[in-house]
Structure 1
Amino acid sequence: MPKKDMALSDTMWQYRDVLFDLDTRMLRLAAGESIVERIDNVEDTKGNNGDRGLLRITNLRLIWHAVAVPRINLSIGHNTITGITTRVAKSKIRGQAESLYIMSKGLSGTKFEFVFTCVNPSSYREMKMRTTLLNSEEKLILLSLETQCDRIDGVWNLSSDQVR
């Protein structure tokens, strides 16, 4: 059965796969799925450069769709994400701008790279789930308008049992 025709009741496909141009019903939240963050005015710079869209981050996936044409959309399951970083990219909406790069690998083994650019780039701080926020000198990389209030030594990184 084609992925576009999946039944709404299929379990956990939202978490495990990367899908494009889904029926808008498939973009609805599944049972147990909840929105963590919603970011307006996000451009899919690599795939739909110039189209403003909406990026929703849920506990299972990232959902992006063009505002003008919702049938142009993406669903990126969290389990497929292999890397997240920010770099400068050329956007039709913002010109040269810091953009969010998401690398993923679908169920078929196909690798994907997604580039999202937002009017408010500080929103990406919350999305850098699997990448470093420290430079080589162990100092926090600050975004514009951010300040570091304090530094606490001896904090454990429980994901890899390392002391910082």
Structure 2
Amino acid sequence: MSLQWEDKEVHFDIPYSKMRLILGEKVIDKLDNIEDTKGNGGDKGRMIITNIRLLWHSLRTPRVNLSIGFNCILSSSTKIVNSRLKGTTQALQLLTISNGTRYEFIFTNLIPGNTRHFTSVMGVHKAYNSSKLYRELRLRGGVVHNKQLKILPQEQVVSTLHGVWNLSSDQGSLGTFTVSNVRFVWFADVNEGFNISLPYLQIESICIRDSKFGTALVITSSEMSGGYILGFKVDPEEKLQNLFKELTSLHTVYTTKPIFGVEFQSYSGKDDVESNNNLTEEYEVLEDLKGEISNTITAYLADEGHTKDEIPVYSPELGLAVERIKEGYTIQKLWEVIPS
């Protein structure tokens, strides 16, 4: 298993099924009276900040919503804007990129003097960026110091095995294999900078196979992390089997309860904390209207770097030459976003 699109993409007007929390996702803060000033000015909404993304939906029309993965955010700052509901005020500005397209989002807290959304979004985004070892493969990273693993805040070391051969080269390299509750790490004895850290989130499969070095432990990383095939030689056979069982068991446990490593202490009150637990129930009652889309997507575009137009192509639907449509869009969908 691995995170799919939730933390890596921006989505507009998604069905409630995609707004529900996935395994390992937790609500950190939730705020009402938040205006999506750029795309839905004049519309009160609710902002939900989780450990992997930012959600917003209109209180009047819940199917008008946003999902912004924290991995998409290029920068977060404050900006003076003119809100339809609050007038001239300071707002939160997010510049993002998703599937090659840049978007700008502006959120205004309609409660006078309340800037909690600044603190929460910026704080969680910082925590997300500083915890990537929980979610991403690292090759030759700074994960070991003086032959000791640098343990992450929520990490617990389960076992450490010396004398493990990494079979990535023709000769193999002898090193140390450490297993924890969130990842495994191997590093070479002669050069600790030659290492690999692979979280269970990015493991596709674990098996025992024959190799030119004999029976080996083979771990395949997910396609999203590069699809690496990693081989390790452990002697005697009993130790190899024990390591295989241990990794398989920990991977299975992790799959049912992932740890993304994003920790941030919210300043929300007791009522907010209690309502966070009912988030998925709230989305159960929203209409799942397929094919509908709000009339504001183009308002979010932030293509300051645009220098020249695409080569036009013929559109049989319109009978005209038009700019090439971006992947995932159709003429019909683009027509629907034009305000009537």
TM-score relative to the length of structure 2: 0.34
Partners in 2 of 1:82 and 1:100 — Cα distance? 13
Partner of 1:24: 16
Quick one: structure 1 residues 11 and 122, their matched pair in 2 at CA, closer, same or farther if it must change by over 3 Å? closer
TM-score relative to the length of structure 1: 0.70
Deviation, 1:96, is 0.6
Q: Which runs of 4+ in 1 moved over 3 A?
A: none
Partner of 1:118: 109
Deviation, 1:10, is 8.3
Gaps of 5+ in 2: 127-340
Deviation, 1:39, is 1.2
Deviation, 1:109, is 0.7
Residues paired across the two proteins, number: 122
Partners in 1 of 2:57 and 2:109 — Cα distance? 13
Deviation, 1:125, is 2.7
Partner of 1:39: 31
Partner of 1:60: 52
Q: Secondary structure at the match of 1:103?
A: strand
Partner of 1:100: 92
Quick one: structure 1 residues 13 and 86, their matched pair in 2 at CA, closer, same or farther if it must change by over 3 Å? same
Partners in 2 of 1:128 and 1:38 — Cα distance? 14
Deviation, 1:117, is 0.4
- Which has a greater percent of helix? 2
Q: Secondary structure at the match of 1:128?
A: helix
Deviations 1:40-72 (A, max 9, x none): 110000000001000011011000000110110
Partners in 2 of 1:25 and 1:69 — Cα distance? 16
Partners in 1 of 2:107 and 2:80 — Cα distance? 11
Deviation, 1:122, is 2.0
Partners in 1 of 2:82 and 2:122 — Cα distance? 20
Q: Secondary structure at the match of 1:55?
A: strand
**RMSD between aligned alpha carbons?**
1.8
Partners in 2 of 1:75 and 1:125 — Cα distance? 19
Give the conservation status (yes or no) of the 8 Å contact 2:49–2:120. no
Q: Secondary structure at the match of 1:87?
A: strand
Q: Secondary structure at the match of 1:98?
A: strand
What percentage of residue pairs aligned between the two structures are identical?
A: 37
Amino acid at match of 1:44: D
Deviations 1:75-98 (A, max 9, x none): 000000000001111111111111
Q: Secondary structure at the match of 1:47?
A: coil
Amino acid at match of 2:52: L
Trace 1:63-78 onto structure 2 (pairs within 5 A).
Answer: 63-78=55-70
Partners in 2 of 1:12 and 1:117 — Cα distance? 29
Partners in 2 of 1:125 and 1:27 — Cα distance? 22
Partners in 2 of 1:42 and 1:122 — Cα distance? 10
